[in-house]
Structure 1
């Protein structure tokens, strides 16, 4: 996320009125040059950020899949940024019709909140086998909403789950393409290269101890941060092509 540069005045105090330093003609050339360079750098950063942004895909809202807003906790928790997109599978059935996906999600939502005691739906986004993308945890799809998807690494990351189980069954091509479209767009908002790597600090889990600085792919599998089979070996094998496609969608 861009941070504002601290303002550095190029004005020198007016010796005839020291309480009103408004005489810009006394600014030394070096200060003027620095100010001009800062403006140029800021403009270049804006151009670079726009260059690597992908189009926003269609996203079904929580209202669209029937999320009961009364069962979740009020308010939201945010991270400072999104550095990693963790890919998951929901370990639910693969034989659902796409029209049934909202019902499956409502069941997962109730399980996360009522059984596990989480504040809301765990994943930030969910994708069905027809490639339809759904808003998961509430708080704003463009924002760095902290989810509950990868123990130890929920901060500064997002979770994307594909409906189904992909231990032995391949994910649909439409679902894989949707993962690429979604991650290209969302990671682009935070200036992340889908083919790159980054570091996250572990909050503690069954794979990395608390405080460990861990190198991860910007698009990673759940198993990369936690000892689990998720997202299933057949979906995990698709992450290389997801990274490549997402980068291409960003214009890289």
Structure 2
């Protein structure tokens, strides 16, 4: 998700932080950050970088409930940001929800910090430092190189980023929410999802071909058989749908048969 027109706002202020126009842009940015934080949680973690935000979650291989939860949380965030933008006369935001594979990301910064905490605890256990000093030292620990493992080599992030960058030229313009139709059973939006006509998207350099639905509303989907929500795919079904090679599709199919 990113704010539309933010670059133009700070450009008009000539990147001068004391220009009144820049102050409006910063006010807009801080309001954006606040709403993203309010919608973040254990099952909807986010990373904010200036005027953009990324939410991420691994899908379930056995149930499409997590697919629905992520889609619903994404829509609620988009709706809240859109209301803020309308109320203030700002250009709005664009959100792209995409599915994809990911490799395990590096935990180097996290593990290094954890090792430092472990050393502090060992010193406290050995009586070398008092608990109060241990707390103070732990509180001063900083990570000088940071990353989020879930977003490294994350090709759902790649699909969303490339589609967002395509913007109007790719048919994905304006302050709208676009959802990868790979999330939907049969590649079609279910009855409880309100959307416009599907929009094909491709990026030949990456071998990327997919379709996005401009979603404008979500209703209560019902529970179907009580286990799965009608009209959505689970993680394995999505993986089998978007797998770029036959060998990968066979691996996913085998995982489905043994799960």
TM-score range for the pair, normalised by the shorter chain length: under 0.3
TM-score, normalising length from structure 2?
Answer: 0.26
Q: Indicate the structure with greater helix content.
A: 2
TM-score, normalising length from structure 1?
Answer: 0.26
